[in-house]
Structure 1
Amino acid sequence: MTSPSPEHGPSIGTKVVHRRYVPYSHAHYAGNLVDGAYSLGLFGDVATEMCILTDGDEGLFASYDDVQFKAPVRAGDVLEITCELIKAGRRSRVMEFAVYVVARGAATEARPGAAEILSEPILATSARGTVVVP
């Protein structure tokens, strides 16, 4: 991760990465599926850290572009959420986001807490978004 200071302005290519376990309390649908809004909330979290890192302010989301739900997110998943700064205006910041499933529950009756790290992360959600900073 690049660590620019707010005094030097935002640096294109700066990345922020979070990891998060999806609790079963967030499952809304059959098969322990989680709604797509869950990913959008995670994008807000990484965007907030990006704005703090690059501008010393939490910023505010202005819009999302091209949100794509590519694979399901399920309770018991471990997600990696990425954010990359791709464009910086005077007050606007354009970022690309992705949610990857990096581990998934593999529960059985004999092993109800079983889970596994995936050999290849699964791209679940992608988007581009614009935030504004003061």
Structure 2
Amino acid sequence: RAIPHELDWLRTAVHLTKGCYPGQETIARTLNLGRPPRRLAVLQLDGLGGDLPQPGASVRMGERAVGTVTSVARHHELGPIALALLRRAVPAGEQLTVEITEVDEATGETVAVGRVDAAQELLVSPEGRAQASPAERPGAGLRKGLRL
């Protein structure tokens, strides 16, 4: 679960002035406070071990859980990468680790079997804005001509 501020959807996917919708109060409260609770980041994973974390894996700063992996892939140039939602207070240059888990066949429970080091790259700043936000939404010029 995420809110649009955390994923930088306010620029392109959410219209704050367009009628009522589920979750409107949460979106308005976060907009008025000006700070989403989490932010989206790319994690560059250490690929030496070969194991990749699963979506939902815990991201840790030391022993403290500070986020959750949302998706994982092997990039042809960068190696293993992941998207993660991290707490806003996690420093941008902080070294992180991601848990590697397996399902125990006997019990069916998920068990942590190791960790992989991760370096983070901000996609959405802690203030909830993209690093390269345009002044207007895409297509604004087209929409201006349609208004009566």
Higher helix share: 1
TM-score (structure 1 length as normaliser):
0.29
Higher strand share: 1
Task: Give 1 or 2 for the bigger CA radius of gyration.
Answer: 2
